[in-house]
Amino acid sequence: NDRLWLQVTITRYGNSEHLMVVRDITRLHQLEQMRKDFVANVSHELRTPLTVIAGYLETMLEHTDEMPPRWPRALNQMNQQAGRMQHLLNDLLLLAKLEATSPPSNTQPVAVAKLLQSIKGDALALSAERKHQITVEADDTLMLKGSESELRSAFSNLVFNAVKYTPDNGEIHVRWWCNEHGAHLAVQDSGIGIESKHLPRLTERFYRVDSSRASNTGGTGLGLAIVKHVLLRHQGRLDVNSTPSRGSTFTCHFPLSQATVI
């Protein structure tokens, strides 16, 4: 805690002159840390009462036949909103954990192809009536060193987003492959797409292209922030290509040192 945080900027003038500015950002860093701790603590404290509320709501929903006519609909709404809040708190806590802890070490190779099949199953189960076509083309000899649970969170967010932002009957294609530049995972959809002016800000917390639509899709606005942090912890980076009304492709690139072939 008694560390000094310095920000150094070097600007070059002409051929031989440089200007170096050193700024003490220790206080800024401490404030940022306090903000992170506060968010993590509040999320943690809210989780327990919310679990109790959600539990009672579910029990009450098992007895709707004994209720006055307008109650079941109201209870259903409350239950749905409680679910959204639980989802939000879980995402906030996961993000706090990803920011606060050091990257996973001594990690086992993760079978990404198998992971993707499991994520596809979850995505289809969640959106069964929307009839998306999800195809997975994955090299099952290609493994990725890292934390399976973190990678699952990141890849699920990308696949679930593809489902959320693609109209019914749309196509989603997931690819996992390797070449001389590294290992790559691409999630391509035929959905609503994103205007280029939004692309640089997509991984900021709570950034949404269209907040009115986002509230209907049930997202938390934290999904891509989680993806960014998980990738950073696995030496990876995210690349987004998108054309409005045509679709988007989110690609994760990992260095070859993170991959192994069995």
What whole-number distance in Å separates Cα of residue 212 and Cα of residue 208?
Answer: 9
Q: Judged by CB under 6 A, how many residues of this single chain contact ligand ADP?
A: 22
Helix, coil or strand: residue 63 = coil
What whole-number distance in Å separates Cα of residue 74 and Cα of residue 16?
Answer: 72
* Nearest distance in Å: CB 91, ligand ADP: 8
* Nearest distance in Å: CB 55, ligand ADP: 25
Comparing CB distances to ligand ADP, the nearer of 40 and 214 is 214
Report yes or no: 159 and 166 within 8 Å, Cβ to Cβ.
Answer: no
Q: Is 131 left (phi over 0), alpha (psi -120 to 50) or beta?
A: left
Token pair of 131, please? 């009839």
* Nearest distance in Å: CB 247, ligand ADP: 7
Instruction: Choose among 126, 123, 141, 157: nearest CA to 238.
Output: 157
Site string for ligand ADP, 213-242 (x = CB under 6 A): -x----xxxxxxx-----------------
* Nearest distance in Å: CB 250, ligand ADP: 6
Phi and psi dihedrals of 21, rounded to 5?
A: -115, 125
Tell whether residue 248 is a contact of ligand ADP (CB under 6 A): yes
What whole-number distance in Å separates Cα of residue 252 and Cα of residue 227?
Answer: 9
* Nearest distance in Å: CB 177, ligand ADP: 20
Burial class (CB in 10 A: 0-12, 13-18, 19+), 223: buried
Report yes or no: 243 and 193 within 8 Å, Cβ to Cβ.
Answer: yes
Out of 162, 186, 238, 259, the only residue in the binding site for ligand ADP (CB under 6 A) is 162
Tell whether residue 189 is a contact of ligand ADP (CB under 6 A): yes
* Nearest distance in Å: CB 219, ligand ADP: 2
Comparing CB distances to ligand ADP, the nearer of 146 and 219 is 219
Tell whether residue 252 is a contact of ligand ADP (CB under 6 A): no
Site of interaction with ligand ADP (CB under 6 A): 157, 161-162, 165, 189, 191-192, 194, 202, 207-210, 214, 219-225, 248
